[in-house]
Structure 1
Amino acid sequence: MRALFPGSFDPVTQGHQDVLRRAALLFDEVVVCVMFNSNKTGRFSIPERLDRLRAAAAGLSNVTVDSHTGGLLVDYCRRVGIDVAIRGVRHVHDLDHEIPMARMNRELAGLETLFIPADPALAHVSSTLVTGMSRLGRVPDGPVSGLLPAGGGSSEGA
């Protein structure tokens, strides 16, 4: 069975990498896909995000990387034949946002959503926070790059 792990991944974090690794254990193939979000202004270009995702997925033979910049998530899933979306959740506030989308995706296209809870050691990490902290170049215990996967870029690149 194939699954889609969609997101903006701006930048990809250790939390994303953890969810991706865990999803790769559950499915025959996982497509991690950079989705265009008109509500967000991207810091990195789509090609840069794809490169970082490929680095984060290194060693996961059943993971492919793609992007989708036009249309809904369900449009992409229909086009490539995927019936399950993976969503990482850090806390209950994520569920407040994700559950209505999951219900709509199921109603529109029969797309099921599997929620993978964040590793507690990474639950505080978000792309938004990493980006904000990177502007200062540091987090309380060290460089922002410590929150990014190996090969995912430096704190200057976050």
Structure 2
Amino acid sequence: MNIAVYPGSFDPVTNGHLDVIKRAAKVFDKLIVAVLINPSKTPMFSVEERVEMLREVTFDIENVEIDCFSGLLIEYLEKVNSKIIVKGLRMVSDFEYEFQMALINKKLNPEVETIFFMTSNKYGYLSSSIVKEVASFGGCLSDLVPDSVIKHIFKKLKK
């Protein structure tokens, strides 16, 4: 069974993330979308909230599982019996960082492969940071995030 892991912060999940999830789910037998627990960052949403939002937007994709992890991605891959990392690329600027990460992961475990999915044209500008900034100024989030995520964002901003 080909098990791939799509790691990220998903704070919040965007339509760009969902596009990569749907496309990768067609390629692999099982896709684990893994929310990274990063204690050095202060996310808008808790890990539990991010996992819940991802479950809401992927409930109809049978071979997608949502999980979370902390520590090295390579160790998480071993835990879930995977040797494939899925990453989405928006712009050339993403490639430099993601290529560096792919190389260090390969150094840590030579059997691991990183598969890059190029973003669909309509999501090339989209990031979780942009979504949070637009939301903080009361901007329209339709076409940026799934509808179910919009309510979570504005609920969080009201607190």
2:151 pairs with 1:149? no
Corresponding pairs, count: 153
Give the corresponding residue for 2:68: 67
Give the corresponding residue for 1:43: 44
What runs of 5+ residues in structure 2 fail to find an aligned partner? none
Measured after TM superposition, the shift of residue 43 of structure 1 is 0.6
Mapped partners of 1:125, 1:157: distance in 2: 21
Mapped partners of 2:134, 2:150: distance in 1: 14
Q: Percent identity?
A: 37
**Normalized against structure 1, the TM-score is what?**
0.92
Give the corresponding residue for 2:76: 76
Deviations 1:19-70 (A, max 9, x none): 000000000000001012344211100111001101121210000000002x
Give the corresponding residue for 2:96: 96
Measured after TM superposition, the shift of residue 152 of structure 1 is 1.9
Larger helix fraction of residues: 2
Q: How does 1:21-40 map to 2 (within 5 A)?
A: 21-40=22-41
Question: What secondary structure, in the 3-state scheme, does the structure 2 residue paired with 1:66 have?
Answer: strand
**Normalized against structure 2, the TM-score is what?**
0.91
Measured after TM superposition, the shift of residue 157 of structure 1 is 4.3
Letter in 2 for 1:144: L
Contact 2:141 2:150 in 1 (8 A): no
Q: Which portions of structure 1, spanning 4 or more consecutive aligned residues, are displaced by more than 4 angstroms?
A: none
Q: CA RMSD of the aligned region, Å?
A: 1.3
2:13 pairs with 1:7? no
Letter in 2 for 1:60: I
Mapped partners of 1:136, 1:93: distance in 2: 26
Mapped partners of 1:81, 1:32: distance in 2: 14
Give the corresponding residue for 1:85: 85
